[in-house]
Amino acid sequence: MTKNILNQFKLLIFLMLDIFCLIFIFSGCTNTSKIDPEIEKIQLEINFDRFDLKFASIHDNEFSNFKKKYNYLFPSKFPDSVWLNRKNDTIQSMLQNEVNKVFPNLDKFEKEAESIYKHLIYNFPSIKIPKFLTLINNVDYQSKLIFADSIILISLDTFLGSTNKIYDGIPDYIKNDMDKSRFGSILVDKIASSIVHPPKNRFFLDRIIYKGKILLLKDFIIPLSNDGVKIGYSEKQLNWAMDNEEYIWKYFIRNELLFKTDDNLIDRFISPAPFSKFYLEIDNESPGKIGQWIGWQILRSFRKKNPSLSITEILKLSSEELFKEANYKP
């Protein structure tokens, strides 16, 4: 009897240890990163101007005054009738209704924009805060966000979610970017055009390091976002990139791609695409933009070796300096 009680007690101890280990493992895997208190305390409030709702509800006899307020959105070469017809168009109404369903409010987008600009102010103190204005833009997915001087135009109808029926017929690799979870990342992409200088050379290496700089910028500006959101990969695509990082790099080296200036390499490995083009059997399994992924890992390798450097200091360095110092070896 005593022996049985002792064995049961041992079993209970082992079970408790197992549970403790599991808790430890899972807590270790949890992203416990928090925003720097110095960044958090920056005072900033961003409110989006809901032009889309105002335009949809304006009465025809009030349109003239409305147009004066938003004259930068109404080119003078078009008569008022063009805009009034568009406002009353059935497709415009359908898109607006769908936007209203998906976005009963824009609190989350506004908070994301606030966080992004707090991080930007912390790292780039001279940056200016733009005005944000929302609109419906006939699902122009190439213009999800438009940076126009001191205004950022947000096409809400391009963030309705990849499974939305409105997007039927659009290729999957494009639809995957048309989700509200990608808003912050795409916003940083637009802002980066004024912060990250384009490469001076046309070498493939310079081009992927340029994209790597933008992705590293996201590590600083949207640090709580996961890597998939930053680059626009699904979990499966992200895992493929991580699992095959060494083989991708060896392919680039073996085929002497780093110092080639062939523009075809942009389409094959840098631009958004359904898959990257190695011209091998693995192509259909690979995600597009794999060159961007490798450029990012080169920049991360550099940062790991130079943790004291700020993002502003890193962005000033040339591709040659970054590549040499990174000593990238996946």
Which pLDDT tens digit goes with each residue over 79-128?
999 999 999 899 999 999 999 999 999 999 999 999 999 999 999 999 99
In this structure, what DSSP letter does residue 103 have?
A: -
Query: Helices (H), strands (E): how many in the chain?
Result: 17, 4
CB of 153 within 8 A of CB of 70? no
Mean pLDDT of 4-12: 44
Q: How far apart are CA 71 and CA 65, in angstroms?
A: 10
Grade residue 28 by pLDDT with cuts at 50, 70 and 90.
Answer: very low
The two three-digit tokens of residue 250, written as one number: 């060896």
For the segment 42-89, what is each residue's pLDDT rounded down to a tens digit?
999 999 999 999 999 999 999 999 999 999 999 989 999 999 999 989
For the segment 307-320, what is each residue's pLDDT rounded down to a tens digit?
999 999 999 999 99
Contacts of 197 by beta carbon, 8 Å cutoff, 6+ apart? 315
The proportion of the chain whose per-residue pLDDT surpasses 70, expressed as a percent, equals 90
pLDDT at 27 over 70: no
Please provide residue 225's backbone torsions phi and psi, each rounded to the nearest 5 degrees.
-75, 145
CB of 183 within 8 A of CB of 162? no
CB of 278 within 8 A of CB of 266? no
In this structure, what DSSP letter does residue 288 have?
A: S
Q: Tally the C-alpha atoms within 13 A of residue 258's C-alpha that lie toward its C-beta.
A: 14
pLDDT at 291 over 60: yes
The pLDDT assigned to 149 comes to 76
The pLDDT assigned to 202 comes to 94
CB of 311 within 8 A of CB of 266? no
Please provide residue 17's backbone torsions phi and psi, each rounded to the nearest 5 degrees.
-65, -40
For the segment 166-210, what is each residue's pLDDT rounded down to a tens digit?
999 999 999 999 999 999 999 999 999 999 999 989 999 999 999
Contacts of 38 by beta carbon, 8 Å cutoff, 6+ apart? 122
Give which of 180, 187, 204, 91 is closest to 146, Cα–Cα: 187
Question: Which is it for strands 48-49 and 131-135: parallel, antiparallel or unpaired?
Answer: parallel
The two three-digit tokens of residue 97, written as one number: 């209704």
The pLDDT assigned to 6 comes to 41
For the segment 206-263, what is each residue's pLDDT rounded down to a tens digit?
999 999 999 999 999 999 999 999 999 999 999 999 999 999 999 999 999 999 999 9
Q: How far apart are CA 221 and CA 191, in angstroms?
A: 11
CB of 107 within 8 A of CB of 117? no
Would you say the C-alpha torsion 209, 215, 221, 224 has a positive or negative sign?
A: negative
The pLDDT assigned to 9 comes to 42
The pLDDT assigned to 105 comes to 96
Please provide residue 155's backbone torsions phi and psi, each rounded to the nearest 5 degrees.
-85, 95
The pLDDT assigned to 206 comes to 98
Range scoring the smallest mean pLDDT among 13-27, 104-118, 254-268, 284-298 = 13-27
Measured N-to-C along each axis, helices 204-221 and 290-305 cross at an angle, to the nearest 10 degrees, of 70
The pLDDT assigned to 33 comes to 53
The pLDDT assigned to 76 comes to 87
The two three-digit tokens of residue 327, written as one number: 């000593």
Instruction: For the chain, give the mean pLDDT.
Output: 90
The pLDDT assigned to 18 comes to 43
Classify residue 282 as exposed, middle or buried by CB count within 10 Å of its CB (0-12, 13-18, 19+): middle
